[in-house]
Amino acid sequence: MIMIDYYPYIDFNAIKLGELSESLLDYECAIKSYSKALDRLSNYPGDRMQPMLMAQDLAERIDKAKKSLALGTSVLKFEPWKLSKSSFVKGSQCHKYLFLDKYKKQEKTPFSEEKKELFARGHQFEEKVRSRDFPNGINVKDVVGDFAYFNSYTNYLLQVNNDTTIYEATIIEDDVLVMCDILKKDVSGNIDIYEIKLNKEINEAILQDLAIQYYVCSKRFGHSLNSFNVVFSQGESADNWVIKNLLDELEDHVEETVRRIDVFKDTLQHEEPDIAMGEHCNKPYECEFIDYCKNKC
């Protein structure tokens, strides 16, 4: 198999975002995205023809977008965040886990093949639920390509569609980013959220996962949030599932969730926490930084 040496110099996500921006007439974002891709491609040291043609095409797209800039509209915006759903769950397990995941990702222990297989099964279950019960949704992650623009694209979809299904709907509130497996908006403007779990019941990690998502979604949608559901698998084959609306139950966790958000933001502003190893290293899940902490002892 021939290694294509210019692939590392192609910013596929920036090109994808540029194409989306162009289709939405957001020429300012298109210019920024195509320029980012062109800058990266210009660092290619080789002499192959294909990257040269790609660079020429990007330059032409930039020029075309600049000529249309006055006719455009602002749709996609770069929006940062301080916490995510996954970092909130990790912080709920251990403050040091949260810190290391933010600042020392290179110290993670690679996932075992067993864990990779479990993740793959989870994705397969997710796709099965979507295709059977919530088909033809728009996948924000697939369409946009850059996390920082997921929230604004989700907002756009909700504004232009009276009845829509969105996969990986992304919402940022209080500097916290969450991505919902499925968001449904009906013609009356009611919002229903569905989180898909291969598990058959709630554990502590899933509870924190749902709690932070519910808080962010309720802050964004208010009374329009009609239900907040978890989809649990049933049986060994994961061909069947049950849907439970946990809206009322999760409302009881809002105060604690807000408290944790403040604590976790503060944790990320200071030095690495000095926390001894213990049961929390494996509960509810095995921490990805166990080897790092062992070597520090």
Fold of 83-282: Lambda Exonuclease; Chain A (3.90.320)
Instruction: Tokens for 143, please give them.
Output: 């369409």
Q: What is the pLDDT of residues 149-205, one digit of tens each?
A: 999 999 999 999 889 999 999 999 999 999 999 999 999 999 999 999 998 888 888
pLDDT band at 106 (very low <50, low <70, confident <90, very high): very high
CA dist., res. 286 & res. 295, Å (int): 16
CA dist., res. 263 & res. 257, Å (int): 10
pLDDT band at 2 (very low <50, low <70, confident <90, very high): very low
Write down the domain spans for the chain: 7-71, 83-282
Contact call for residues 229 and 244 (beta carbons, < 8 A): yes
CA dist., res. 80 & res. 141, Å (int): 16
Q: Residue 3 has what pLDDT?
A: 52
Q: Is 180 helix (H, G, I), strand (E, B) or coil?
A: strand
Residue 110 preceded by cis peptide, ω within 30: no
Kindly report the length of the chain. 297
Q: What is the pLDDT of residues 24-71, one digit of tens each?
A: 999 999 999 999 999 999 999 988 999 999 999 999 999 999 999 999
Q: Residue 1 has what pLDDT?
A: 39
